[in-house]
Amino acid sequence: MPCSVSIAIQTPEFQSLFIQVSPTRTCKCRRISASWTTAMDSNFSPTMSNKKKKELSVQLPSSAPPIPKFETSRFCDLHFDRLQPSDQELDQHSRFEFGQFVARQALLDEEYWTAAWLRAESHWENRPYERYTDHYKRKFADQEFHAIKRRCRVQIVPNGESCTCIITVRKEQKNVKRSIIKSVVGTLDLNIRYMLQGETFPGERAKAPPFCGINKTPSSRYGYISNLCVAKSARRQGIASNMLHFAVESAKSIGVARIFAHVDRNNGAAQSLYKNMGFEIVEMANALLLDEQTYLLRLQT
């Protein structure tokens, strides 16, 4: 009478698996263990058909673990599903409407974070094949988020310097509600500063003494535009030029006569954008910025 032999093979239990589901959320899956049992006929020979029977048994934990929670410890105060506030809720007087979009000042932490993420996407846009790109983008966005809050919410009132984060959002539509993350499509920073003593353009005295004074006269006050970027899905719709126009008009409204911006020497599209707005290259700054491969542009309002 043929007999059968059962061989139990215990396999290592699966380790915890983390799945990235969004730039800031990681889902932790449950852990299980499994074992296989193989039954084989003892009269088996190479000329006979291989008759095997494999069984798989899976053992789940006796008590179900809690529902997986998203790991958002660094952004615990943010609500990523928060809806974009209506125009009545914001009650802003300084805003610029164009097409299906509105340019205005960022007010909410979720708007600051989305602006930071757009800047991270833009910064790493041309390096998609580098290792750990996603990790660096998240780290960049995290640092930029806190930097924006620090720059924009701690206004240096005594000397008149300030920083404003300007964003472009999709215009409010009837019966259509969007989250803030899906609504913000563009961003830039507008800084109001003063020249150092003896400067005619920002950075001219690169090796200024540590305690060099600030020239707090109306003529030395200037605007500086930085971190201009637009979401890939919303480009070629005039967002960058209109957002830049809004920033320039905002600076003019508080009496700023000169506005500066740096642009990469290899970025022809950005140079054309600024030049179409009336910006000109500051020739005297070229030698100082040669190593940085940037141009300093100036707009005289």
Question: Which residues are known to be catalytic?
Answer: 274
Token digits for 35?
């074992």
**DSSP letter string, 270-292:** HHHHHHHTT-EE-GGGTTTTTTT
Q: For the chain, how long is the longest CA-to-CA vector? A: 107
What gap in Å lies between CA 11 and CA 281, rounded to an integer?
68
**DSSP letter string, 71-117:** --GGGTT--TTPBPPPHHHH--SSEEEETTEEEEE--SHHHHHHHHH
What gap in Å lies between CA 281 and CA 296, rounded to an integer?
6
Torsion angle, alpha carbons of 283, 285, 290, 294, to 10: -90
What gap in Å lies between CA 60 and CA 190, rounded to an integer?
56
Closest CA to 22 of 147, 130, 124, 114: 114
Question: What 3-state DSSP class applies to 140?
Answer: helix
Token digits for 241?
């030029």
Distances (CA, A) of 268 to 57, 124, 294: 62, 18, 11
In this structure, the number of other CB atoms found within 10 A of the CB of residue 203 comes to 17
**DSSP letter string, 48-72:** S---EEEEEEEE--SSPPPPP----
